[in-house]
Structure 1
Amino acid sequence: MNTRQQKILKELRLAQEPLTSSEIGSLLQVSSKTIRNDVKELNEQLESYDAYVSSTRGKGYQLIIQNERLFQQFIQSQHDPQDDIPSNHQERVSYLMEKLLMSSDYNKIEDLADELYISRSTLQHELKHIREILKKYDLALDQKPYHGIKVIGDETQIRYCISEYLFNQQSTLKDNMGDWLGILPKEELEVIKDRVLFNLRKYHIIISDISLQNLITHIAIACKRIRKSNSVQMVHHHLQEIEAKKEFLVAKEMAKEIQEKLNVSFTNHEVAYLAIHLQGTKLSNSCTHNMEAYSVIDSDIQEMVKEMIKRIDDEYGFHLTNDEELLLAMSLHLKPAINRYKFKMNIRNPMLDEIKSKYPLSFDAALIGAQLVQEKINITIDENEIGYLALHIEVAQERQKRNKKMAPRCLIVCASGLGSAQLLMFKLQSEFGDQLNIIGTTEYYNLLQQSFQNIDFIISTIPIEEKLTVPVIKISTILGETDLSKINTLLTQGEAVTEKYLRKKYTYLQKDFDTKEEVLSFICKDLESDCLVDEGYLESVLKRESFSPTSFGNMVAIPHPIDPQTEDTFWSVVTLQKPLQWEDKPVQLIVLLNISKNKKHDLKPMYMLLMKVLDDKNMVKDILQCKTYEQLKWKIK
């Protein structure tokens, strides 16, 4: 069973309903014919294990397992080291990035080609892409005759690239932390984790679980690189600046303890490098008093955040200017964020896709804030960071709806920090009202430090395997509107949405385009010819795309202009005969949001309704099959 066939089995296992060969092909970026051939081979292999892939005309493929024990035996028997050999371009690029970044020595071209079972010319093609990726980090490939190739550049940037390109592609928060990278043996990773947690608690530094994992991984990368004689060298004035910080003392203790146990020598430069990562962790202590929190935030950051919130209010009419909690939360986030960018550090946001799809309005509002930061201090904030700012804005809007305490007893365990924990809290309060009393939030690694005497149960966004004295309910980090809203809300508002936002003239079904630029140009040209927008409309839509792609998964993209131009808010809807690649996701349904320049405060209900429709996989499938405007209108109703 090759890698692609493993992925087909995984998709079929996860699917709640049959999948067609074209749907699976879109997910795996191969043709329907390839999928049909793979399914045929899979059925031959599954025959002896009481399982098979059934095929129903008009519906698609479905995995039927008659004996779960035998099926698991099949999965285990199929694992062969040969199956792990990358079988396509993306897998080969990822493999080569890991191989080259984690090696300090030269790798011979012939050896790499042999490992991947590809020709030398194919390898050169993959290395061209590797060079493009490395260039983003100011790194390069050095090639020496009779030696091979290796990554060269500033050591800090190499570590940054390792963390950003390899670590950030993973989303696990618990088991085998770092094992997938082969950074260090598991027992050494446990030593690092133990010493980090000990010193964080000793010095009362509170960080999110994701920041904790990020920190441990950075230390593991540092140990690996130091052992191979690759050390960080900092500019003298940066070193002096960091040595004066509290984090340097904490980092020094961590480094000393890790050094003793793992026999790794940390120079002052390496300790400073660790201190920078401590400075870059998010302040997420929900117990911090406002005055205490304000004391650690620079006044210029507070002023910048005030200006950000005012600009967002001017653009969207959220009325958040006087929200002191939002001012504090965004200031606390930006302080370490600015430090991260100053030293070219990364942050991971495992919820990014969900935030963009569930809270697109708040995400766009956060984009405005990010633009102001760039104007003020010439720092470009990436979409991972923007996603966290969007959470704070969504929290503030939820707080407006319910600004009073509720009543029974539960504790929230959230891995992604204060913003997501608070948003989850407000969503739950909004849904259950007086039936639920949320007494607080905590990070996973601090859970066992909590007293369970006054808690009836725990609500957690990650699995908790420890035996606790109270029940644990596992839920999704982002509660979608479909989870919380009553069914009749969608039913009663379905007709309103079709009348208010759909336009027959700007609905284009079953079209044939190859790129997102072609689609957007086609839509915008039509609007321009009807004098609804000016000639800069397409440029405005593409500019918004350049900040962060609007393809959110589920075969859907929701582009929109960065500067609204139309008199009314309405949708231009395009469905495609076949999916096209929209950055890193396949897309077959495009809804261009033409936003009114006059009525921006009406956007929240529109976004909520749109998300309910587009979150529904079956609904999207039905929309893609529509041949007429009337069919589309009826489906959405």
Structure 2
Amino acid sequence: MRKRSTEIIQKIIKNNDAPFTVRELAAEYEVSQKTLRKDIQEINQFLHTIPMPPISITEKGELIKDSIFDDAAVERHLYDMDSYIYRFSTEERQIYIMMVLMTSDSYVTMQMFARELNVSRVTIVNDMDMIKEVFKEFDPVLIMDPGKGMFVQCEENSKIEILTKLYQKIAISVENDGYFQRVILKRMGIQYNFSDVFSYAQEYVQAANLIFIEDVFYEIVLYMFVVFNFGRKEGRAAKREIELNEVDHLFLYTGYRMDIFITETMQKNFRQYIKEHGLRSYIKNVDEIELYKVIMKFVQKIGQRIQFQLEEDGKLIDALLMHIRNMKDWGSYEVELPTEYDSFIDYGFLEDLVEENAYILEQFLTYPLSKNMKKSMVIHICVALIRSRRYFRRLSAAIVCPGSMATGKYLEAQLKNYFDFRIVGVLSVNEVYTKLEDLGESIDFVISTVPIEFEKYPVIQVHPFLKMDDMNKIQSMVFQKQKDNPGKSDPQLSILKRMIQDTVEDHELAGLLCKKVEQVTKEYQNQSSSLGKNEIGKLLKLEFIQMEAEEITWQAAIRKAARPLEQDGYIEHRYTEKAIQHVKEYGDYIVVSEGVALAHANKDCGVIKDGLSLLVAKKGIQFTETKGKVYLLFCFASRGEQSYFHLLREIIQIGNQEDLVQQICQLNQKEEIYNRVIGGI
């Protein structure tokens, strides 16, 4: 069976949506429908050998599996194919030969390749002519001895670069679900899995707040995968005393986590590879709080146009933050927007708003957002809108994983970062059917890392490491479930106020009732929170509060707000100047809500310890882009050892509460300001 036929049957096996058609697959592979039908014939010949019912083609051209078609059994037989059943393409054959030659310590013969690939020796001779041309781009010497066979001599760095390019061609990834990928990995005797290298590298990237533009992260991980498996590990240990950048540390950290001895030569060659391929310029070190504020500004702009406070949805902000920090997750697939899930959402208008405001993120990230990134952002915003509807039922789901409770718990943790689901249980494949019955409660759907079927519940199959296509599948299900059965939730304060305004005809009475409801709610919240300080109260010191009665420029205001932190040894002066520089570079992103701003810079710009200060500007501060003035300017410094997203949200809430900023501005004592700021949240 040929490569295209193998890929098609794999697509059919993994597809849980509407059946593929001959027309769409022919367009995808850029072949005629007649050729595609011949591929189906070849697939059916293979299925006959299992045996398994054939794939049928309807009058509409849909490819349909029989009711007794066993996906798992077919997949097992696919991966068990040998070179007699699977016909390697010319490119696959040549990649196979080059990989074996580049990693072999002894001579190999053409006859051996002919036998392994099930082709004639003449075919291998022709392949070698093409391979010689490929090798001319590098410096390997191909030795051909009639008595011994073939052998390649080359420098270590050239060997690693050639192998990296070859693995890039076959798209080695975390899943490696392609037949040819598995053949190569098995033949090459891989010791260190790509998925492990990827996971440990991602650990460091998240800890160091690095963002990799486009596919640079994948290319670096692939290089490390090749070096760890095929690089020479003899020599002196890599020097730790020399100045190392973040990417150097990424290499050392990943090697350490995989218990690999990193030599001086390996470190030197890695640096050289990064430099020669210009990868360093595609890597950006970002401060998480700075990025969070930029995302806040982005969603605020969109929220203003649709008259909705998107910035108050923490899950929306967190989801966008995670995706931007893990750029590879956006992928190269096509993101499709829902067509008719919910009538109250205008998808076209949201697309226009995301396109219109994308510059806010692009200016900070210093690269353009792709079409798919923007579409995915639209989907996240749609989910946020649905999440905030007047009547909203919390969805419930069960997680299924293949025996490993750790995998299921990790998947559960990822889901909780993105969705407000109630997880009823993490179940193994063997117990899922009985356990769901034992629970005695209805769920909305099952999220599984393996293919399973339920008559009662829809199943969403995902990867253990959630990808953007997984997110889109889950979000599409959320759209549909909320449309079919919106349910009802406990009303929040804003909902109560809208209900009063809708039902009480006397507008004056309605206004008084709304104020009373708000007052009672605040009193209850203040009483509930009196047992412990909020995040601002934990960090803001009374002596770090200042007042400014005169007009003041935004630059001078930032310097004045930061002065107590400088004088008390929390930050160096360069931190203050960097905070000013950020506003000049990225605009008024520090204005986080109406009348409130938060000055901040990167942790490596002179942060000594975590601290928060506040400047109350009586006459307001005019920034460069924001129309309204800022009256409360916080200055925040963090060493990055703990997350302060709750602090940021509390600061944002101050500006979102009616009249609170003006009430604070009218106070003249630090104690009064402190108590009003703390008590108003």
Larger radius of gyration: 2
User: What's the TM-score, normalizing by structure 2?
Assistant: 0.40
User: What's the TM-score, normalizing by structure 1?
Assistant: 0.42
